[in-house]
Amino acid sequence: MRGDERAIYRGRAKETNVNGDKRFLTGAMASPSAIEVAETCHKIPALLPFWTRCGKVNCRCTTGQRHGPYWLLRWREGSTHRRHYVRASDLDAVRATIERRRRARSAERATFAADLALLHRLGTLRRELEGSLAEAGNER
Ligand SMILES: [Zn+2]
């Protein structure tokens, strides 16, 4: 295992389940793939690059040239920031999933805006109609 991979595993070991057990040690709950997270997370997570130090004394990363980029998904659950590391082999699929979800969200928002505009227009028409009916009543 390369040093920079160890750094990632150290990060994973910090992830805990609801009982506060270290998932990494118990193996109780297999972590979902990043593709699953990108697909099923209630919010669309951000895909972020990061660079890391491996810890070797004479490595280039000690003088600022860190290893990477590696990628992680990050999102918020309430006030908690959550993250999920993305395997290099999953990166393209994760990127495609996020893009697809963003396009779907844009389409939903456009539909909602159009529906709202229609609703406002109907309200205006109703008020105009009520106004002209009242006028017609007064002229009788
Ligand atoms: Zn290094």
Determine the Cα–Cα distance for residues 128 and 140; give it in Å rounded to an integer. 19
User: Is the CB of residue 7 less than 8 Å from the CB of residue 14?
Assistant: no
The alpha carbon of 61 and the centre of ligand 1 are apart by a number of angstroms equal to: 4
Residue whose entry in the numeric block shows the structure tokens 């991979």? 5
**Which contiguous run of DSSP H or E holds residue 96?**
helix 91-139
The alpha carbon of 68 and the centre of ligand 1 are apart by a number of angstroms equal to: 10
Q: Please tell me whether residues 98 and 131 are part of one structural domain.
A: yes
User: Is the CB of residue 46 less than 8 Å from the CB of residue 73?
Assistant: yes
The alpha carbon of 64 and the centre of ligand 1 are apart by a number of angstroms equal to: 10
Q: Please tell me whether residues 66 and 11 are part of one structural domain.
A: no
The alpha carbon of 54 and the centre of ligand 1 are apart by a number of angstroms equal to: 4
Structural domain boundaries, residue 43 = 32-139
What pLDDT score was predicted for residue 139? 75
Question: For residue range 80-107, what is the model confidence (pLDDT) as tens digits?
Answer: 999 999 999 999 999 999 999 999 999 9
The alpha carbon of 59 and the centre of ligand 1 are apart by a number of angstroms equal to: 5
Is the pLDDT at 123 greater than 90? The verdict is yes
Number of domains in the chain: 2
Is the pLDDT at 61 greater than 60? The verdict is yes
Average pLDDT for 40-44? 91
Q: Which band of pLDDT confidence, cut at 50, 70 and 90, is reported for residue 51?
A: very high
Determine the Cα–Cα distance for residues 112 and 129; give it in Å rounded to an integer. 26
